[in-house]
Structure 1
């Protein structure tokens, strides 16, 4: 038709423009808010509660209009909520697995009836989560609720779980914590952020409609992140888990240090993730993926575009074509605009060139989507990206260089790889230190995918069967690892700085003089760097049994340097090869069993018969862990989409272990065997009270076929060596048995970078039953982290 402005199909394919966005209505959500007078209370004991004389917090929508207000809870509200949650746990956990699964499935139907209201409310609050995504979560975890006692035997729920999220966290990340906790039989107290408060309160109402017991699901809202610490302080809380940005997560960890409650964090906001395009990729699809994920109005992660040099010009040309005409993105404030402009200016000064959809307006909070081509790896837009629509582009030549760029970030959340070469994709995925890898795709989320936060991206696993264990404890555990307590007043800078006790020469003859021992670092028995020793007392503290080196920070540093050299090669060994080394270690232990039994007898004062029994159990324990090496190795996962989803257990890296006093040999070989069976290197600090069995074990290590530096033993003051382990940036995890002050110090200190902590407060030689066989699975799960790889086929 003459003069028609309608575009043909050919025009649309040439321009690759997006179609007009559908108009959205929020009438149902607005009506729900009006029903509550736009003043939302707390959700406690199955009903809305609005206490009098409480401060409120106003929420605004994306246009700046007043949306509603939420109550700021105080101590009395938290106590009421915790009491309700305890009763809710008793009622919820007393149901059979089938009954809990039935309630969760009923919630799917209820959610379907009110999907429009929830979806509209999420859009208004910018807490993105579709109702279909929630349905998938419910269906997946209702199945696990049904099969908990069948497939996860000898584990029991924790009790009351507090789920805390930051203001910028999505509803999906919140429910990825809530639903598995409920499926395993726990009750939940949700402490939502600003954007997730209204949807969480609506869900509380829907949960009750589905038949949840009163108190099984509770929501308390507040003014800031301090509410999470106030909830954790309540003695009824068994576990605290957090999702959101890292800054608020660190604040929560420090605020809860010393309370005796385990805290895990999943910093899912603000991480930098590599988007890697190889020359073998479908360039058009890859560029379309970049545009789709890098310039969203609200994005949870920052992307770093890495392009192979051979296809750089092709990628940049397609980026220019696809970005032409894209609208500016609104920034949160004028201050963010200034940060974006400063980052762009710095990148240009370092040689970067710009690809922009349009010219930046002279003022205001709008900024165009911008690609910084040729950005330097040290540029602030790469190392510390701002909140704006900036996409740094770096180039690489080889696969090795691509992996180096991808691992350059301190974060380890996810990566997107684009290539038609499957071998190259799998090799790259294996070498990237991230929790999720998407091949020829991006941002694929499904509850069946287990994802561990690598490096600075978390201390727990979410999703899949593996993510359920954070909400369970072994049935054999009669008490929690950390007794509830109030934080003590500590000067964290002085922890572990006390001088070692002085050694005074005695008049004994050389024949009866205490025997000197050596520590084990880098595959060699050696003295401490300081050259000093500490006395080892007998069980009655009446005489000196031996002298051992007084190790310190430099000894730990030398041990870490030896460990990081050998750990990558040990991790790459086949599971069967690691198993053979552990079997060999068990044989070496058997050859020295008389000496080790005598050492246990002299050190602890138990009978020779009991000491022999502990050695025999230690030999069997090493053999069991050797058998574990090639028995649990992940596998394929059932995804809704067409493709292959893989779950892969990986080593943590270098693990610091402060050993317990109880069963000094059996506990040591259990922790050592679990760590190296998972592919880790170990730095062990023997029990300060009973170090001799561990030091006698050095003879076994010297004649083993373990690589030099894989296992290191540093003796000395427990607090001083704990401080050295906590402040070393390379150590990825610390397993600690010691004082409550030491537990508090580690919780407060191990946040930059994040370390995975397993803390146990030992008093009066009580604690784990090291003879129980259930320890094998528990410790092995502590020794690995999980990676998911998604490969679409259509």
Structure 2
């Protein structure tokens, strides 16, 4: 028969060859670039602007050809852009929800007309994002724009938001930030990376064509990420959010420390993710997915293959068969080739064997797809994978060992699990400390699912309703950080000042100030140093008591106790945690007189004010107990076959530095929000008013909370803040204190990343803790959880 081949169906399935790739044309994108003379300006106030005397930056395609150049913005451009964004925000936020939704939906039809141009430009710039993906994002967030005031009541937009991405970031990662910010009524200043700049500028032009008010979306391009810090420095900016690689994210956090602007980061580029194949998996499908995700797709994350020992030989044999004939993969530079050669040599010296598609060329910026079999979890090429098509392969025996291997990484971006056993898949997914888990699939995303960066992979949540709250604040609250200029701060000396010396007096033992103990690991104890600090009366004239002067060793002991008990507490049912909080409220009621006395003596408030604070504290604990089983995720509808789970999870160990105002009420408010969601806490009471927190230890001792779940350490606020910031296990810090303390935390809590909730205490006391507005409690509750999505395909 004409055109027939000698290959049988069996041969085809054994080789699983791909058909020839379709040829692509970029004529429309080239025409758009030529229209702008291949020199793209800034997009400010609804139009392209090309200021004179500006440096430019050139963008090349994958073959080294010139695509275009972009302008490098300077301070004057940032000021002009911020002023335009303020005006654009006023026009945009004054529209009704329906009007904002119409603008976003209108862009769908505009994309229908100009989709080829967007798609081709993304291909030219290597900033992958298909028009269909953009349409899905627009449809999803336009519906949230329509329903904002209906489903998210008592929340208000932040104002002007800066979205910053690194040079190696995709357009999708940019738009998953931009569109929800716009949908909630904010104006946005985009600071794109080099590859995302042309598509971002094109989309900004299309947004204005769809009816977006001028200034509501601006695009500033620059020479490097320092432009993001310059934008954040402008007093009009309310929030900065970043996506990209870890190095640039750390630099941005340090550069913006002390500016009084909140910064969240999603450093997913280069994250190490486990690809786990169990013996119950469809091995052929799993191997095919390994080839596609590790060697054929653009690698924004670095995969590590984990295979159950019983099927290792079968997996390796199929990998050898599937890799035959695969061509070398291009590297970014000759320097990457040096790193790849070094990693391969190191792997071979440690006993790893290579599975390669072909022989490696002697030199040049390319390398064949390579599997490094026999890798150990501690090997350098596993811990810090090099760029290029290298895939380490490790083995495991049991399900528990698979989870241990999967969590053996500072990153918590994603994982792919392959098994036909649904129970095993769900148990493994819940045990992995990652934001996304794909079951029998990989690299799938949809904006309906909230995803948080676990561990060192981010400090915010993107997607779903949960991802909208980073662009909102409760209507009844003011911004927690006042805009300011960074102070001159010696970070190595912060928190090292010695505590005031205690001088013996001549008072008799009957009238001597009472010594208090702190609470660590379920026991009342002295500080490790054995030192104490004096607690002054409200007027500062006399000593009321002595409390322990805690330090980093006390924090270390508290963290060790918290780590032991927190996983078991997190696994308790929400109703069991609620019962413990109800019991804690009853214990507080039983100790009402003692607590009233400590608040009165410490703060000098009237008896009515003291009674009100204690009563509100009891009510607040009951509120948190009632909340425990109310935020439990769900199964959002997907636009494709299959189902997905959205799961809230505890952060882990949370450090809390308490405010001076309402010392008891603030303590139980933050304590209830944290432990109600399954976290363990290390609390640092107000340095000025520590006695109410120390008196509350009696309530904790009489409660049924596990020993080590709640720890209370007194002493110097700055010294203990430094200890919390530098402990790698602590996931989040909630801080009420000085501007210097806020700046120190923003600068320091970058390696590993910590979720920061900072509030600069004002002279008038700041936050009104006696408010019980639903949005304020909801904000605290949401601050205590991170989100995980689990994808389960059905076809």
TM-score range, shorter chain: over 0.9
Equivalent residue number for residue 413 of structure 1: 413
CA distance in structure 2 between the partners assigned to 1:500 and 1:730 by the alignment: 27
Q: How does 1:139-538 map to 2 (within 5 A)?
A: 139-296=139-296, 298-477=298-477, 479-538=478-537
String of CA shifts for 1:181-211, please: whole Å, max 9, x gaps. 0000000000000000000000110000000
Distance 1:512 1:10 in 2: 93
What is the Cα deviation at residue 673 of structure 1?
0.5
Give the deviation of 1:334 after TM superposition.
Answer: 1.2
Displacement of 1:522 in angstroms is 0.3
Equivalent residue of 1:243, what SS?
Answer: strand
Alignment correspondent of 1:777: 778
- How far residue 297 of structure 1 moved from its aligned partner, in angstroms, is 5.5
Q: Secondary structure at the match of 1:769?
A: coil
Q: What CA deviation, in whole Å up to 9, does each residue of 1:384-413 have, x standing for no partner? A: 011110000000000000000000010000
The residue matched to 1:400 in structure 2 has which SS? helix
For this pair of structures, how many residues does the alignment match?
793
Superposed CA offset, 1:660-702 (max 9, x none)? 0111111100000000001000000000111110000000000
Shift of 1:11: 4.3
Rounded Cα–Cα distance in structure 2 between residues aligned with 1:770 and 1:83: 35
Pair 1:642-2:666 in alignment: no
CA contact (8 A) 1:598 1:608 kept: no
The aligned counterpart of 1:727 is 726
Paired residue secondary structure (1:759):
strand
Structure 2 CA distance, aligned partners of 1:484 and 1:439?
A: 45
Deviates most, 612-621 or 773-782: 773-782
Q: Distance in 2 between matches of 1:257 and 1:339?
A: 33
CA distance in 2, matches of 1:87, 1:766: 32
Assess, with a 3 A threshold, how the Cα gap between structure 1 residues 7 and 116 changes in structure 2: closer, same or farther. Answer: farther
Match of 2:704 in 1: 705
Q: CA deviation at 1:296?
A: 2.7
1:761 correspondence with 2:750: no
Cα shift at 1:309: 0.5
Report matched runs for 1:560-599 at 5 Å.
Answer: 560-599=559-598
Q: Is the 8 A contact 1:661 1:765 kept in 2?
A: no
Q: Which moved more, 1:11-20 or 1:639-648?
A: 11-20
Deviation at 1:15, TM superposition (A): 2.0
Report the alpha carbon displacement of residue 66 of structure 1 after superposing the two structures with TM: 1.0
**d(CA) in 2 for partners of 1:679, 1:299:** 34
Structure 1 Cα separation of the partners of residues 6 and 252 of structure 2: 56
Aligned-partner Cα distance in 2 for 1:79–1:710: 48
1:294-323 Cα shifts (integer Å, max 9, x gaps): 013631000000000011111111111111
C-alpha distance in structure 2 between counterparts of 1:109 and 1:545, whole Å: 71
CA contact (8 A) 1:297 1:329 kept: no
Answer whether contact 1:662 1:765 (CA < 8 A) is retained.
Answer: no
> Deviation of residue 7 (structure 1)?
5.8
Q: TM-score, normalised by structure 1?
A: 0.99
Matched ranges for 1:628-667 at <5 A: 628-667=627-666
Question: 1:359-397 CA deviation, whole Å, 9 max, x = no partner?
Answer: 111111110000011111111221001111000000000
Q: CA RMSD in A?
A: 1.0
Q: Take 2:578 and 2:313, find their aligned partners in 1: how far apart are those partners?
A: 49
Match of residue 674 from structure 2: 675
For 1:262 and 1:296, how far apart are their aligned partners in 2? 37
Is residue 2:75 matched to residue 1:85?
Answer: no
SS at match of 1:494: coil
C-alpha deviations, 1:466-511, integer Å up to 9, x for none? 000000000110x210001111111101000000001111112222
SS where residue 555 of structure 1 aligns? helix
TM-score by length of 2: 0.99
Structure 2 distance, partners of 1:475, 1:540, is: 36
- Structure 1 match to 2:119: 119
Point out the more displaced range, 359-368 or 159-168: 359-368
Q: Secondary structure at the match of 1:697?
A: helix
Which deviations, in whole Å up to 9, do the C-alpha atoms of 1:222-251 show, x marking residues without a partner? 000100000000000000000000000000
* Alpha-carbon distance in structure 2 between the residues aligned to 1:313 and 1:530: 56
Distance 1:3 1:586, change over 3 A: closer
SS at match of 1:731: coil
- Provide the rounded CA distance (Å) in 2 between the counterparts of 1:314 and 1:529: 56
Distance 1:738 1:769, change over 3 A: same
Partner of 1:138: 138
Q: 2 CA distance for matches of 1:765 and 1:587?
A: 32
CA distance in 1, matches of 2:51, 2:432: 50
SS at structure 2 position matched to 1:124 = helix
The yes-or-no answer on 1:68 pairing with 2:68 is yes
Task: Please give the alpha-carbon distance, in whole angstroms, between the structure 2 residues aligned to 1:537 and 1:91.
Answer: 53
Q: Secondary structure at the match of 2:563?
A: helix
Residue 3 and residue 433 in structure 1: after superposition, are their counterparts in 2 closer, same or farther (change >3 A)?
closer
Q: Deviations over 1:537-595 (max 9, x none)?
A: 11111211111000001000010011000000000111110000000000000000111
Retained in 2: the 8 A contact 1:354–1:371?
A: yes
Cα distance in structure 2, aligned partners of 1:99 and 1:8: 59
Question: Which one is further off, 80-89 or 11-20?
Answer: 11-20
Q: Which moved more, 1:393-402 or 1:374-383?
A: 374-383
Which residue of structure 2 lines up, in the alignment, with residue 45 of structure 1? 45
